[in-house]
Each structure stands twice: as structure tokens, then as C-alpha cells.
Amino acid sequence: MTKVLGISGSLRRSSYNSALLRAATRLMPPDSMLEVASIRGIPLYDGDVEAQGIPAAVAQLKETIVAADGVLLVTPEYNNSIPGVLKNTIDWLSRPAADIKRVFGGRPFALIGASPGPFGTVLSQAAWLPVLRTLGTLTWFGGRIAVSRAANVFDEAGAFKDPALEEQLRQFLAGYVGFITRPPGS
Ligand SMILES: Cc1cc2nc3c(=O)[nH]c(=O)nc-3n(C[C@H](O)[C@H](O)[C@H](O)COP(=O)(O)O)c2cc1C
């Protein structure tokens, strides 16, 4: 069983990105599962807090990532870039730096996102690239899900209204899980 951890970068109750992540949990290929992790409770990064020890919520999320075969980041776009709350989480997860290799190194990541605007989250997804590169992740680029006009895509319960997009997400997840489970050296 391939286990992917999904992290939505929005705290909003009616978040499109969290709806996208929930939809993805139902569209995973056979022999795989998508577990949802929350960034709620991750404090603002503060070096003085770190000097007293890694906060429990951060330490727990780090171990959940280590136990997963891959990480799916579901990112909103703020001011054409990364949302602060999700970057703050990743920054905490990268501490202490000696742990970066264990938590991120060679780990298959993938990025998707949703926005009510016309461009999906293409600029936010692009802004993540140097971060994921710096942390040594193995980010998969075999597909792209940047949901635009998200208000037309999800119903009030957060379910997909757009069967074509649902199929696109299903194929994206199949490609990503195929990448995670590819034979070594291929
Ligand atoms: C500070 C801020 C900046 C934003 N900037 C952008 C932006 O650059 N591009 C965009 O498509 N949407 C932008 N938005 C709108 C968000 O995409 C929208 O609030 C979206 O619903 C957030 O994701 P969520 O539904 O998962 O919470 C911005 C929203 C906020 C609060």
C-alpha cells in the first residue's frame, strides 16, 4: 500500500484547496491511500522557540511525513506566490537543518492548487519550486492541476461539479503514485 500525505495550505473552513485535497482522497489509484494532515496548530516560526525545542505539532508532522511514501502539497496562491501559513509550516519542518535529508531528501512531492481566479495557482506552484529544490525533494512534474474559477468547480459540500476535472485529477494521482512506486533505477 502506497501512502501519500496531503497537506492543504489553507485554514479556511470552506477552502477550495482543502476541498480539492478531500476530493483527491477519493480518486487515488488501487493499492494507495491519501491521508490528510492539518497545518492547524503549527506556530509561527521563531528561532527563540526553536532554541527551546521543536514544538510538538511540528515534530509530529515531521514523523507523519517520514512514515509516508510521498507528500502532496495543495497550495493556494497569495499575491502571485506562496501562502505564508504553508511556507511557515515547511520552514518549521526543515528544522533542525540536520533533519532535512530525513524528512525531505529524495521524497516524492507533488503540487496542486485551486483558486477562484482565472489562472489557477500557476504562479504559486512555480514559487514553490526553489523551496522544494533546496530541500532536496524529488518533485514530480508529469502532470499539472491548477484549478481556476474554483467556485464553479466545487458544490457547496466541496464535491466536484466538473467531471472532466475530476478525471484529470484521477489521472494526475495515478501518474504521481506510478512515479512513487516506479522500480528503482527507472
Ligand atoms: C492575501 C491574499 C492574496 C491573494 N492573492 C491571490 C493571487 O495572487 N492569485 C489568486 O489566484 N488568488 C489570490 N487570492 C485569492 C485566493 O485564491 C482565495 O482567497 C482562495 O479562496 C484561497 O484558497 P482557499 O479557498 O483554499 O482558502 C488571494 C487571497 C488573499 C487572502
What distance in angstroms lies between residue 19's CA and the mean position of ligand 1's atoms? 15
Ligand 1 atom closest to residue 12's alpha carbon, by position in its atom list:
27
% of the chain surpassing 70 pLDDT: 100
Q: Calculate the alpha carbon distances from 73 to 51, 77, 110, 129, 163 in Å.
A: 28, 12, 6, 12, 22
Q: What's the 3-state SS for 110-152?
A: EEEEECCCCCCCHHHHHHHHHHHHHCCCEECCCCCEEECCHHH
- 43 has pLDDT over 90: yes
Residue 80: CB within 6 Å of ligand 1? Answer: yes
pLDDT over threshold 90, residue 183: no
Q: Which atom of ligand 1 is nearest to the CA of 9?
A: 26
Q: Kindly state the cell numbers that stand for 71.
A: 507528500
38 CB within 6 A, ligand 1: no
CA separation for the pair 153, 145 (Å, rounded): 13
| Whether the model pTM is above 0.95 | yes
Q: Which atom of ligand 1 is the closest one to the Cα of 119? A: 11
Instruction: Report residue 99's pLDDT band, with 50, 70 and 90 as the boundaries.
Output: very high
Distance CA 83, CA 53 (A): 25
More confident residue, 46 or 162: 46
- Taking CA 170 as the corner, what is the angle to CA 155 and CA 117, rounded to the nearest 5 degrees? 45
76 CB near ligand 1 (under 6 Å): yes
The CA–CA distances, whole Å, from 174 to 21, 22, 34, 104, 179 equal 15, 16, 12, 22, 9
pLDDT-derived band of residue 176, with 50, 70 and 90 as boundaries?
A: very high
Average pLDDT in the chain: 96
What local confidence, expressed as pLDDT, does residue 157 receive? 81
What Cα–Cα distance (Å) separates residue 129 from each residue in 63, 68, 122? Answer: 23, 21, 11
Distance 11 CA to ligand 1 centre (A): 12
pLDDT at position 158 over 90: no
Nearest 5°: phi and psi at 14?
A: -100, 30
Measured distance CA(121)–CA(75) in Å, rounded: 7
| pLDDT, position 17 | 97
| Ligand 1 contact, 12 CB (< 6 A) | yes
Is 6 touching ligand 1 by the criterion CB < 6 Å? no
Q: What is the pLDDT of residue 129?
A: 98
- The pLDDT assigned to 104 comes to 98
- Mean pLDDT, residues 131-155 taken together: 96
The pLDDT tens digits of the residues spanning 109-127 come to 999 999 999 999 999 999 9
The pLDDT assigned to 117 comes to 96
**Distance in angstroms (rounded) separating the CA atoms of residues 9 and 18:** 8
| 4: its cell numbers | 501519500
